[in-house]
Amino acid sequence: MSLDEILVQAEKTASQIEAVKNQLEKLKELKASGKISDEAYLELEKEYREKIRAIELVSNDLIQKLRDEAEKIASVASEVKKKKEVLNAKKLIGVITEEEYDKEMKKFSSKLSVLDKYEKIETLIEKLKEVKTLSTKLLPVTQITPTAPIVERVGIPLGPKICPNCGTANRPEAKFCRKCGSKLI
């Protein structure tokens, strides 16, 4: 995959991260205002956790590729800087003419254009790292209003088991409360 292809993919993924971040903020607002039930929230939360995980996998891969490209660019930058210094020195001491200097500098123009992408790479890496904060945008299970477990037609609990003793939300498969240790119904 070329650097330009990596940059395009990284920009797409960064846009996805931003979109999910905005959607999660809206979801939180809806939950806080009571416009969606705990059950609906839990269903959406599950979908978003899966979506976030998929984006995180892509982001981690892209971050590594971008870091590799950044290292290459840093190496090229160092090489170009040294050669420019040598050329400037040669021009100043009269070893090469102004025309020869300009000709040699044109050879570096393609390498110099890659240096412009370095800053873009660094910005994209920071945007891709934001995926790690997305799951924190979801409400913790303990902030969901305690309700009785929801049972689908087949009798499998969908939501958290709420402790009858202290009201803590527990995983659907839990047999005892994670906070007070009481037996869950």
Mean pLDDT, consecutive 10-residue stretches, the chain (185 aa), reads 91 93 90 90 89 91 92 82 89 93 82 76 90 72 45 48 80 82 83
> Can you tell me whether residue 84 is helix, strand or coil?
helix
The residues with which 157 forms a beta bridge, in sequence order, are: 151
pLDDT at residue 159 in the model:
62
For the CA atoms of 62, 65, 71, 77, what is the dihedral angle to 10 degrees? -80
Flag whether the pTM goes above 0.75. Answer: no
Cα distances from 152 to residues 7, 156, 159, 167, 185, in angstroms, run 45, 6, 10, 22, 16
pLDDT at residue 154 in the model:
40
Place of tokens 């003419």: 97
pLDDT at residue 86 in the model:
92
